[in-house]
Amino acid sequence: MSSIKRLGLLYGRLGLSTEAELIERRAKGVTAVAAAIERSDVLPLVRRAFGLGQPAASAGFLTNMQDEDPTFDVQPDDVEAGLLAGAILDRAIEEEGDQSGVVALAVVTAAAGGLRRPTDHDGLVGEAERMLAVVQGSSTGAPSNRTYSKQPKAFAEALEAIPGQSANYFSQASPYVVKALAELGKYAEAGALAAAVNDNAVLAYVGRLERELRLYWWVSGGWSSDAAMPFRRIGVTEAALRAGKELADKAFNEVGLFAAPAMLDMILDRGRDEAELVAVPLGDISRTGDLAWRRGVFSAPGSGALSDILAVSTALHLAAESGDADDWHPRFLRMTGIGVEAALDPVSLGLQLYRECLVSKAFA
């Protein structure tokens, strides 16, 4: 089902006006705003779609909607505003434009492994997960086949003109020889440029494969460079945090790797009993690991402009800031909409932190 069809169904489910003309106007506005979306527009839309922060602080998209429909009168705190924010994100993801991968990453990260859902848009997270997998899977595509550049017509004509004008004197043929050599030079240069472009594409592809191979060696080795010890000798919750962070440090694209969940599972499963791989509440996760390490790694993302989006990073920062006291719990709930009793299993925890680190880089 397309994003626009989903929009019409959502209006009906929320009990809003289902007048066909109204929905058609809203759909045109959603399409136009999504087509013009820029990186700076993404997080305000995500916040409004997930009900984070004050509605008015993330309502800039409503002005753009009004530009498309003079009768548009939706207010920032209206239920319809949240629905439209989700619809714009949905459409931006569906269009597969320059920002679709980053939009999908932001939506999936905001969902925090299922701990949050968009307030008024069913299916948005699922569509974002689908598109994120598509973009991740195509980020290391092989170079296309090189095409053969035929001799240009001007070169062939210049060569044919030489015998007919040569007579007995080279001076009569020289202008035609010069023209032929000039055309030959252009053809040779075009071939050299095409070869360089093709060679650079191959080298870039080989470079990406090398970086990906190094990642697989890192997974096989199971060595935490930050902790300077094998992951299997670290408690599973701390290992999940460190693995997610270190995998993000090795990222060579914005949206991450399709194989990231499998990589984290391989790292965390090695040498452990199944009983260890249970879900742990955020309240316990936040106190995991050395206090100085948590302060050094998570203070910037957990206290910055993205703190409401980056739920795990923010929990780790607030706990470290309070010296592992519990007085930050209400503040965390107000910021993120998630209670500290919400739990994540180790692989989901590592994957969530991995995505949070990628979002932090993408929107820095």
Residue 184 confidence (pLDDT): 82
CA distance 318 to 315: 5
* Mean of all residue pLDDT scores within the chain: 89
Q: How buried is residue 102: exposed, middle or buried, by Cβ count under 10 Å (0-12/13-18/19+)?
A: buried
Residue 189 confidence (pLDDT): 85
Residue 115 binned pLDDT confidence (cut-offs 50, 70, 90): very high
Over pLDDT 70: what percentage of the chain? 95
CA distance 151 to 184: 9
Q: Which of 38-52, 124-138, 196-210 has the lowest mean pLDDT?
A: 196-210
CA distance 15 to 308: 29
CA distance 204 to 214: 15
Unique residue bearing structure tokens 């087509």: 35
For range 304-313, the mean pLDDT? 96
Q: Taking the CA atoms of the chain, what radius of gyration do you get in angstroms? A: 28
* Backbone φ, ψ for residue 245 (5° rounding): -70, -45
Alpha-carbon distances of 182 from 164, 165, 178, 224, rounded to whole Å: 19, 17, 6, 60
CA distance 342 to 319: 15
The three-class DSSP label of residue 148 is coil
For range 224-231, the mean pLDDT? 95
Q: Residue 10 above 70 pLDDT?
A: yes
Q: Residue 183 above 70 pLDDT?
A: yes
Alpha-carbon distances of 163 from 33, 47, 153, 154, 306, rounded to whole Å: 63, 75, 17, 16, 73
CA distance 215 to 180: 53
Residue 170 confidence (pLDDT): 61
Task: For CA atoms 268, 274, 276, 282, give the dihedral sign.
Answer: positive
Count CB neighbours of 181 within 10 A. 12
Residue 19 confidence (pLDDT): 77
Residue 345 binned pLDDT confidence (cut-offs 50, 70, 90): very high
Q: Residue 246 above 80 pLDDT?
A: yes
Residue 14 binned pLDDT confidence (cut-offs 50, 70, 90): confident
Count CB neighbours of 298 within 10 A. 27
- Smallest CA-to-CA distance from 129 within 162, 107, 154, 147 is with 107
Alpha-carbon distances of 275 from 149, 195, 240, 321, rounded to whole Å: 62, 56, 15, 31
| Axis crossing angle, helix 124-138 with helix 79-94, rounded to the nearest 10 | 20
CA distance 203 to 187: 24
Q: Residue 299 above 70 pLDDT?
A: yes
Residue 46 confidence (pLDDT): 97
Residue 42 binned pLDDT confidence (cut-offs 50, 70, 90): very high
Residue 153 confidence (pLDDT): 79
Residue 187 confidence (pLDDT): 84
CA distance 282 to 338: 9
For range 314-343, the mean pLDDT? 96
Q: How buried is residue 203: exposed, middle or buried, by Cβ count under 10 Å (0-12/13-18/19+)?
A: exposed
For range 271-279, the mean pLDDT? 91
Residue 255 binned pLDDT confidence (cut-offs 50, 70, 90): very high
Residue 264 confidence (pLDDT): 97
Residue 96 confidence (pLDDT): 83
Count CB neighbours of 362 within 10 A. 19
- Smallest CA-to-CA distance from 294 within 324, 326, 328, 264 is with 324
At 122-181, the pLDDT tens digits run 889 999 999 999 998 876 667 777 777 777 777 777 777 776 655 556 666 677 777 778
At 88-104, the pLDDT tens digits run 999 999 988 889 999 99
